[in-house]
Structure 1
């Protein structure tokens, strides 16, 4: 190739390359500017159109369609869709866009509710490039712009008028508090956007082509002028090379050849230097790009890790704040919030809602007997059973709205709640309550123990009984306490008459808390008489409450209340201390009371009970043999091994142990030989039945024979008639406690009864009447 051809080829290559680069950069820039301009225009148009939220809030489809048509009028905008905030479709323009439309969760993935969304997707919903190359590669590629439609009015609140809606939008605080009520989805076709900017790109290409043609023409003209002297120089050089010219030849033509050579050398040198600079710049740029890419990748990984940690922490904090750690049920806070919302919805839709308040019967006894770990396992099992029971019924009868999934909550301790929303009839609540009682009444295997737990359920119905959370809870709680009082393991619907009884109970609770401080508690004593000698073998200390206004209150009214309030431990210790003091008082007067018997509650018989008894005995310096503790079968049968150890420790103190109400509880005879007992008391019910039936008489004889074979002392309580006295003494029970000899009396009236001869004459008269 000649020099002229090489020069022309080099010029053409340079011009074409530069034209392509300029055209490419200009086309990309023009497309990007047009894309950003159109998307910004659409976004600004939506922001400037507050009537969108008005039309969407009041379901004005005609105005909404007109507004949507104006937004899709630019030719690149393929279609527009309006969604509800929950994702429900409201309207699309045109009605059939003729292509697959991505769902709103895909378009809004990773965005908060108030963020604008922009996704570049192809026809299969895959993310693609958003630049000019993407528009050239396929006609099915779209920019999916999702814009939140906001309002100053909360869509969950009650409907407001248009005037109120517009007034709320004009308030200063409306710019600070915005509620997302829907989303506008606009699809911009990338190929259509390219067609919009194609005229501008064509002008740039035409200018570049014109520039290239001019450069080529100029190059041809210059090469023609340059190559002529160069050709002559080449011929001269050939001549010199062939040796035909020995003398130097001066080339004519003025200084043009030297100038051209200098220019060419300068051009070659300049091109070489430029290429080196370009190589160095390209190498530096590549290093910078690689470094920045590595930094961005690392930062992206750190950001993703941080997002995951924040999400996990947020979920963990929400669970800690709103859910019970033991049963995983909603706690009191979440329950209150959801119940408040359900009450508003029920009131708005004129629906009936019921609240069931459950309290587990005798749960504290399980905690005290088997330990708190077993109680926790029991609560977890109760929560699971309640959840399963309510979940099945929700689908069938109770939940018209499947999204309102509030069913069971744990308020704390052994209290649970069940909310029944959208009831078809108030009578349905009783069916559900019976189902819950039946589900919980099935035996539970907890730590190797088969336990049966029953609930007491109080029911309150909205709006009949209350329309707010606190009122509904108060009514259901009141009904629950009445259910407990009526026998437990049942349910009661709230009635207004329960309030008065609840107020009386509350008054009694407050007075009971002050009773010990005000010295209102007193002990009565009922003597236990040996019919063979007429002597008093001991006396049972019976607690009474001398109320300043109501007078003497029997124990069956306030002892269960003290157990529920957690006062029974302190009250029981007071009884032991006062009984021991009374024995000491009698001794100082020279009056002998061999022993005093004190009843022990199941809730009082804890792991620290033995230590407290020992402390009282040491404090008063009283002979432990004068103290007898009467335990029911239920007290010692909760945890057999622990009970054996506790009774052995009491026995080591020198205290006498008696089983009270024998035969009315577990009726397990094997424990009598395992426990270090001293005495067995025959319950009053057996004493009465012994004279009414032969079967009852046989049972009492068997109990007496068994006690005698085990070396246990016998006390028959509740003996009131000559027939009962005759049967018991004939059968072998010679120590009698009952109205036959004395009713429970204060200490000052007990003192004369302790004289050794006091009951001898009465016993002689009884024997005379019996054998007459």
Structure 2
């Protein structure tokens, strides 16, 4: 770099540093001033407005909303919420602001009732920095300002008139006692606050840049004048060195510069003469050298290309032979080789080795719903997370079968293995397994969908459980399937007793595959009784398996197994078809069953489900209104837009839709109004707890009131006692299903129960008994 360049570089560096420092200091100062000004203004406006307490005391929502609207006029004020002392939202602007706002108890931790509260939070409710850097980092960061709304009148005392309230408010501030009526919660968005001060910051930055450019221009002009003669001498010296200077040149400048120029011109004259003599010899020699160099370069390029091709082919063959193409983890072949070596080393050193066999729960559902490309992306992410959770000396492998032929495409595999060598105790393996489960259960963003996968992990130890590769793999695989069957998202160590359980499971799987072909599946029906008329207004079809050797098998034993085996779709279609066929058979004999309810599995609710239901209804020839599909909350919450479309198509067919087990899973209140539902079924757990727990009773009342407000029919499930019956009917649930009236029965046993007013006499006796017991209950 030239002298001028070095001087200019130094000047530029100094100017840029000073500009950045000045701009940064000014930006931080502007942001802090604007932040403090706005927060002080909000505090002053909120604490010096007696009308807030006045409107809140007399519950004037319109005037209170108008006051809040003035408070959120600044663009950076995102929301304003008036909360009670207990923390519940009484008024909020804009509408729905309280749904995502932090709880009042969290915001006012460590504060007294009359203190102002200020905390900086991000969108997840975590406390973050409130400075300029925080505003740049996240658009969801807000200052949460909580201000007590005080009143001169005690809100817990007897009510006063508006005149009395205003008279109390007019007293001097130091002469009156202030009572906290509630809190005003204001959210100030830090990014919006930054935008308000951005023009001032930009003005400072522009000014600094303008000053820097002016100084730079002055520096360039000055250095050019100083170094111009030296640059001409340098060019002259470069010309001499390269042999391009044939004639002396005149260089103007100071005394030293002119003297150096004369010396250089003398050197030019001598070199030019010598150069002419050497050019001929050099040209001949160069021609020979170039010819030899060209020959050697071609030979060297050919050798390098051959070596590169051989290396690339070798690496590719090794990668294809020993690594999984999707996750780049060791495949089964390399894994077994490494595991065999590690087993020999652990046996020689008398050390313990653990094999973790991991399988993703319900991975097939992700492939079926989002496609195999999404499943492949998920497997890549799983492989990366597993690798980050273990030591470099441990082995993580994607357990994929390498024996597939070249013309068979690999669509995916959700089994992974982890080898932990040189561990001290089995607890170390358990800790790693739990760390893997925790890492995998963190949400993954795949193709715009936030997915959560849970693994089931089986652990086998060497030499305790096996000393060879195949034996250790078999033990870990057995423990994994046992963990999956006991609730998933867990890990289990291998135990000898699992072998018998695995054999029983295998036998049950084989028998289940034959159950439909052998007509071993049967339907039982539990009637739903209207307590007003005593008539059966519907029946729920319940699937049972009549095993030839084990007898009647309940659904909780074989339904999860059918879902894992992929038989639930075929089995669910059989239930719908058989239930409709039974209704048709009743109609042909003049027996009226108003509707039959059928449970639908989440795996059964596919895009083709509506088409299959229509085909079955047309095939049997029954009125679609007799069929009611009971959907769990998990069925409709997966893909909301697709669920709404599918449910609307079912409603257009005339099929009734019911939400089963409401409140036991992910209960979003919004979908009750958005989805085209007809009925809400109160879960048996709530019915049982309603007579013994005030909290469950309040919850049931809320569910009943919500269903009535949305125009949904109600069915109380699992009613068994007089007290449960009395509570549910008193609260407005007049369709009862449970052992109070009938257990699940076969179609032949259901037929006499469908007679008009069959249960009316039983209901009258029950009402008489409840009326007789009521005085005794009051006395006790």
Which TM-score bucket, shorter chain as reference? Answer: 0.5 to 0.7
Alignment of 1:57-76 (within 5 A): none
Shift in Å at residue 473 of structure 1?
A: 1.0
Quote the residue 2:388 is aligned against.
Answer: 388
Quote the residue 1:483 is aligned against.
Answer: 483
Q: Provide, for residues 544-602 of structure 1, a one-character-per-residue CA deviation record: whole Å limited to 9, x for no partner.
A: 00011100000001111111111111111111111111111111111111111111111
Query: Does residue 1:520 correspond to 2:509, yes or no?
Result: no
Shift in Å at residue 666 of structure 1?
A: 0.8
Query: Does residue 1:727 correspond to 2:750, yes or no?
Result: no
Shift in Å at residue 529 of structure 1?
A: 1.0
Quote the residue 1:712 is aligned against.
Answer: 712
Cα 1:623/1:491, change in 2 over 3 Å: same
Shift in Å at residue 306 of structure 1?
A: 4.2
How many Å separate the matches in 1 of 2:414 and 2:610?
28
**C-alpha contact 2:331 2:397 (8 A) present in aligned 1:** no
Quote the residue 1:510 is aligned against.
Answer: 510
Shift in Å at residue 415 of structure 1?
A: 1.7
Quote the residue 1:331 is aligned against.
Answer: 331
**C-alpha contact 2:684 2:716 (8 A) present in aligned 1:** yes
Quote the residue 1:432 is aligned against.
Answer: 432
How many Å separate the matches in 1 of 2:367 and 2:692?
40
How many Å separate the matches in 1 of 2:689 and 2:426?
46
How many Å separate the matches in 2 of 1:424 and 1:506?
35
Quote the residue 1:615 is aligned against.
Answer: 615
Query: Does residue 1:308 correspond to 2:308, yes or no?
Result: yes
Quote the residue 2:473 is aligned against.
Answer: 473
Shift in Å at residue 725 of structure 1?
A: 1.0
**C-alpha contact 1:369 1:639 (8 A) present in aligned 2:** no
Quote the residue 2:775 is aligned against.
Answer: none
Alignment of 1:751-762 (within 5 A): 751-762=751-762
Shift in Å at residue 364 of structure 1?
A: 3.5
Q: Provide, for residues 230-256 of structure 1, a one-character-per-residue CA deviation record: whole Å limited to 9, x for no partner.
A: xxxxxxxxxxxxxxxxxxxxxxxxxxx
Q: Provide, for residues 80-130 of structure 1, a one-character-per-residue CA deviation record: whole Å limited to 9, x for no partner.
A: xxxxxxxxxxxxxxxxxxxxxxxxxxxxxxxxxxxxxxxxxxxxxxxxxxx
**C-alpha contact 1:407 1:420 (8 A) present in aligned 2:** no
Alignment of 1:84-483 (within 5 A): 298=298, 301-391=301-391, 394=392, 399=393, 406-411=395-400, 413-483=413-483
Shift in Å at residue 631 of structure 1?
A: 0.5
How many Å separate the matches in 1 of 2:310 and 2:656?
64
How many Å separate the matches in 2 of 1:761 and 1:542?
27
Quote the residue 1:571 is aligned against.
Answer: 571
- Greater mean deviation of Cα atoms: 302-311 or 650-659: 302-311
**C-alpha contact 2:332 2:397 (8 A) present in aligned 1:** no
How many Å separate the matches in 2 of 1:656 and 1:372?
33
Q: Provide, for residues 667-722 of structure 1, a one-character-per-residue CA deviation record: whole Å limited to 9, x for no partner.
A: 11000111111111000011111111222112111111111111111111101111
SS of 1:419's partner is strand
The higher radius of gyration belongs to: 1
Q: Provide, for residues 724-759 of structure 1, a one-character-per-residue CA deviation record: whole Å limited to 9, x for no partner.
A: 111111111111111111111111111111111311
Cα 1:644/1:373, change in 2 over 3 Å: farther
Q: Provide, for residues 448-494 of structure 1, a one-character-per-residue CA deviation record: whole Å limited to 9, x for no partner.
A: 44443332211111122112222111101111122223333222111
Shift in Å at residue 292 of structure 1?
A: 11
Shift in Å at residue 539 of structure 1?
A: 0.9
Shift in Å at residue 308 of structure 1?
A: 2.4
Give TM-score, length-normalised by structure 2: 0.58
How many Å separate the matches in 1 of 2:625 and 2:742?
24
How many Å separate the matches in 2 of 1:413 and 1:502?
21
- Greater mean deviation of Cα atoms: 315-324 or 452-461: 315-324
Shift in Å at residue 291 of structure 1?
A: 9.9
- Greater mean deviation of Cα atoms: 314-323 or 497-506: 314-323
How many Å separate the matches in 1 of 2:534 and 2:563?
37
Cα 1:494/1:291, change in 2 over 3 Å: same
SS of 1:488's partner is coil
SS of 1:665's partner is coil
Which runs of no fewer than 5 residues in structure 2 stay unpaired? 1-286, 401-411, 773-780
Shift in Å at residue 366 of structure 1?
A: 3.9
How many Å separate the matches in 2 of 1:447 and 1:481?
30
**C-alpha contact 2:535 2:759 (8 A) present in aligned 1:** yes
Cα 1:295/1:457, change in 2 over 3 Å: same
Shift in Å at residue 370 of structure 1?
A: 4.5
Cα 1:710/1:370, change in 2 over 3 Å: farther
Query: Does residue 1:675 correspond to 2:664, yes or no?
Result: no
**C-alpha contact 2:329 2:396 (8 A) present in aligned 1:** no
Cα 1:315/1:622, change in 2 over 3 Å: farther
Query: Does residue 1:771 correspond to 2:743, yes or no?
Result: no
**C-alpha contact 1:370 1:639 (8 A) present in aligned 2:** no
How many Å separate the matches in 2 of 1:723 and 1:425?
54
SS of 1:407's partner is strand
How many Å separate the matches in 2 of 1:425 and 1:705?
56
How many Å separate the matches in 2 of 1:714 and 1:499?
46
SS of 2:422's partner is coil
SS of 2:492's partner is strand
Q: Provide, for residues 485-513 of structure 1, a one-character-per-residue CA deviation record: whole Å limited to 9, x for no partner.
A: 33332221111111111111111111111
**C-alpha contact 1:680 1:707 (8 A) present in aligned 2:** yes
Quote the residue 2:212 is aligned against.
Answer: none
Which runs of no fewer than 5 residues in structure 1 stay unpaired? 1-285, 400-404
Cα 1:341/1:516, change in 2 over 3 Å: same
Quote the residue 1:744 is aligned against.
Answer: 744
Shift in Å at residue 293 of structure 1?
A: 9.0
SS of 1:418's partner is strand
**C-alpha contact 2:458 2:481 (8 A) present in aligned 1:** yes
Give TM-score, length-normalised by structure 1: 0.59
How many Å separate the matches in 1 of 2:664 and 2:367?
23
**C-alpha contact 2:524 2:544 (8 A) present in aligned 1:** yes
Q: Provide, for residues 307-340 of structure 1, a one-character-per-residue CA deviation record: whole Å limited to 9, x for no partner.
A: 4234334323432333223322222232222222
SS of 2:524's partner is strand
Quote the residue 1:210 is aligned against.
Answer: none
SS of 1:421's partner is strand
How many Å separate the matches in 2 of 1:770 and 1:371?
57
**C-alpha contact 1:656 1:677 (8 A) present in aligned 2:** yes
How many Å separate the matches in 2 of 1:619 and 1:705?
39
Q: How many corresponding residue pairs? A: 476
**C-alpha contact 1:409 1:416 (8 A) present in aligned 2:** yes
Cα 1:317/1:672, change in 2 over 3 Å: farther
Shift in Å at residue 388 of structure 1?
A: 0.6
Cα 1:569/1:299, change in 2 over 3 Å: farther
Q: How much is the aligned-residue C-alpha RMSD, in angstroms?
A: 2.4
**C-alpha contact 1:718 1:739 (8 A) present in aligned 2:** yes
How many Å separate the matches in 1 of 2:734 and 2:753?
18
Shift in Å at residue 410 of structure 1?
A: 4.1
